[in-house]
Amino acid sequence: MSDPFSVRDRVVIVTGASSGLGAQFARALHRSGAQVVAIARRKDRLDELAAECPGLEGRALDVTDDEGCAALVADVLAAHGRVDGLVNNAGMGHPTPAISESLEEFRRVLDVNLTSVFHLARLVAPSMIERRHGSIVNIASIYGLGSTYPIGDASYTSSKAAVVNLTRDLAGQWGKHGVRVNAIAPGFFRSEMAEELFTNDKVHQRITLATPMRRTGEPGELDGALLFLLSDASSFVTGQTIAVDGGWTTH
């Protein structure tokens, strides 16, 4: 293998690609030569991303639209003949004390953060199984490995913890078919959803003091883990969750 980390010419679907980590993942894959199909709800943001990354395909889609997701995967297979990788990044959260969070809100978060991950993984799996090759990367969170104390966000932590175990179970089911399923658990990286953690000085200081590396993540510091998991460099790695968090989960 001349470059085991190469993803050149691989067809990779990235969800939640209109901003934050998803947009960063799409850029990193595009720079590395992958054929990226970027999915998000905001078409204007996808158009901006496509202008920045010539050749990138953008498609406006809500990941909770079951029929839309099925049509998307069918279109990608028709256009490219395969799906080599799926990055399940779309997610949401709204820190709320459990006593105040409605059942409707809780279910909505699980639908976006968990059910869509299962649905899209199941949609791409048959073609990967047929080719005996494919890599699915689910974006979990360090909050899927512990609580949000003292903030409080039961729906988010529940959904991300479930993503960790869904990753293990799908890896167990599909490993014999050559399909790998892994997860990345990011620590604190700046994004629209996490903006308050960075603009509130007291919160930001508390985070950095609790992180062994004494800082939050910089743009691009998740790229290495992503490219590793989508490439042949991780050909014998499946069912794992890699925390990229500056050491947050060491305590």
pLDDT, average across residues 180-206: 81
Residues ≥6 apart with Cβ < 8 Å to 21: 89, 139, 186, 189, 191, 222
pTM metric for this prediction: 0.95
The CATH code for residues 11-245 is 3.40.50.720
Q: Is residue 142 pLDDT above 90, yes or no? A: yes
Alpha helices by DSSP H, 111-251: 116-131, 154-174, 195-199, 201-210, 223-230
- Which parts of the chain are beta strand (E)? 11-15, 35-40, 57-60, 85-88, 134-139, 179-186, 241-244
Q: What's residue 152's pLDDT?
A: 87
Q: Is residue 1 pLDDT above 60, yes or no? A: no
For the chain, give every domain's residue range.
11-245
94-109: per-residue pLDDT in tens? 889 999 999 999 999 9
Q: Rounded CA gap, 52 and 224, in Å?
A: 21
Pairing of strands 57-60, 11-15: unpaired
Q: What's residue 197's pLDDT?
A: 65
Supply the residues annotated as catalytic: 156
% of the chain beyond a pLDDT of 70: 96
pLDDT, average across residues 186-214: 80
Q: What's residue 150's pLDDT?
A: 79
42-97: per-residue pLDDT in tens? 999 999 999 999 999 999 999 999 999 999 999 999 999 999 999 999 999 988 99
- Which parts of 42-140 are beta strand (E)? 57-60, 85-88, 134-139
